[in-house]
Amino acid sequence: MEAARPDAARTVVPEGRVVVLAGGLSHERDVSLRSGRRVAEALRDTGVEVVERDVDAKLVPSLREDPPLCVVPLLHGETGEDGALREVLELVGVPYVGSAPMSSRAAFDKPIAKAIVARAGLLTPQSVALPHETFRELGAAAVMEAIIDHLGLPLIVKPTRGGSALGCSVVREGSELPGAMVSAFAYGDTALVERLVEGQEVAVAVIDTGDGPRALPAVSIHPDGGVYDYTARYTAGSTEFVVPARLSDELAAECVRVALTAHEALGLRDLSRSDLMVDAEGRVWFLEVNVAPGLTETSTVPLSVQAAGLELGALMASLVGAAVARSTR
C-alpha cells in the first residue's frame, strides 16, 4: 500500500453546475463555511461552475426542480457526517462526493468505527462509551471510579459523535474527570472515555478518484500547547504541521497502511482522513476517521494534497467526476 503519486488524481473539468454545501447548524458551522469557501474557489479556478449553498428548507425543492451535476457536501459535525444528508441526496437522485450513508454513519460514531477497525486488525485505544442517562442513573462517582480502575490514567474524554476536538479533554488526574465528562456531554449525549496514547499525532488522507483508494503523504502535528484542540486546529500559527511527517520510512508506510485499512474496512469512498497516534514504541494507533475532513487554510488535507504534487481544485474536480460516473453506472 503506497502513498498517492502526483498523477493519482486526473484533472477532469466537469461540465455542469456543482453545488458546494457548507454551513449547517452544528457546532462546526464556521469551520464548514471556511471549508466550503476554499473548495468553491479552488473548483472555480479549474473552470467548474460552482454555487455555494447553506442547508435550509429550500434546499431539497431546489435540488429537485433544478438538479445540479453534483453536490459536494462539506458540512462538518452531526448534520453533515452522520449519513442523513447523504441519504436525502440519494432520495432526490443527485450525485454527491463522499461516502454512502451507512458507511458515513459507522465512521461518524467513534465507538462503532473503533470496533470495525479493531476487527480489521488495527490497534485502537481501549475505551468505554457512556450515555449521559446511564452515567447519571448509575451514580457518576461510582462510574468514574470504575473507569479509572479499569482504564487507568491518563485518559481522553470526547463526544462519541462530533469533530474538531470540541468537548474533548485530557485527564491526567482523577479529579479532572468530572469536568471532562461535563464538557463532552455539552456536545452530545454520549461520551467516549479512552485510554490516552501519547506520542506523535499524525493525519493521513485517503483519496479515490475512480482507480482505487490511495493515501496522500502523512502530516505530523505539533501544537504549541501540546494538545491539538479546537484552537490549535483553526488558529493560524498555533500548530506546526510537517509534511511529509517526521517519521521513519517504515513508520510512514505503516501509517499509510492503517489509514487505507480503516478506509476500506469502513466502506468509505472518495475522501477520508484518519487520525492516528504513533507511540514511543513505534506502534500506530487508530483514533478516528473523518468522512468530511476540514479543507480550511489550517487543515491537514490541503497540505497533503500539495505535498503529493496535486492541486486542490483539480482533485475536487476529479472527485466530482468520479461521483457523476458512479451515478450513471
Does 228 qualify as catalytic in the annotation? no
Query: Active-site residue among 290, 299, 304, 318?
Result: 290
Does 234 qualify as catalytic in the annotation? yes
Residue 192's identity, in one-letter code, is: L
3-state secondary structure at position 110: helix
Query: Active-site residue among 163, 167, 294, 321?
Result: 294
Query: Active-site residue among 109, 229, 270, 288?
Result: 288
Residue 294's identity, in one-letter code, is: G
Q: Which three cell numbers stand for residue 173?
A: 488526574
Does 187 qualify as catalytic in the annotation? no
Residue 184's identity, in one-letter code, is: A
Query: Active-site residue among 52, 81, 254, 275?
Result: 275
Q: In this structure, what DSSP letter does residue 296 have?
A: S
Does 164 qualify as catalytic in the annotation? yes
DSSP string, 201-217: EEEEEEE-SSS--EEPP
Query: Active-site residue among 105, 273, 299, 321?
Result: 273
Torsion angle in degrees (nearest 10) through CA of 184, 289, 24, 235 = 70
Query: Active-site residue among 23, 24, 26, 28?
Result: 28
From the list 29, 34, 113, the residue with the least C-alpha distance to 79 is: 29
From the list 89, 121, 122, the residue with the least C-alpha distance to 19 is: 89
| CB contact set of 49 (below 8 Å; sequence gap of 6+) | 16, 17, 18
Does 288 qualify as catalytic in the annotation? yes
**Helices 312-327, 29-45: crossing angle, 10 deg rounding:** 90
Query: Active-site residue among 127, 214, 234, 270?
Result: 234
Contact 104, 128 (CB under 8 A): no
Degrees, nearest 5: CA angle 223-228-231: 90
3-state secondary structure at position 297: coil
Q: How many CB atoms lie under 10 A from the CB of residue 277?
A: 21
Q: Which three cell numbers stand for residue 13?
A: 473539468
Does 96 qualify as catalytic in the annotation? no
Distance CA 18, CA 9 (A): 18
Residues marked active site are found at: 28, 164, 234, 273, 275, 288, 290, 294
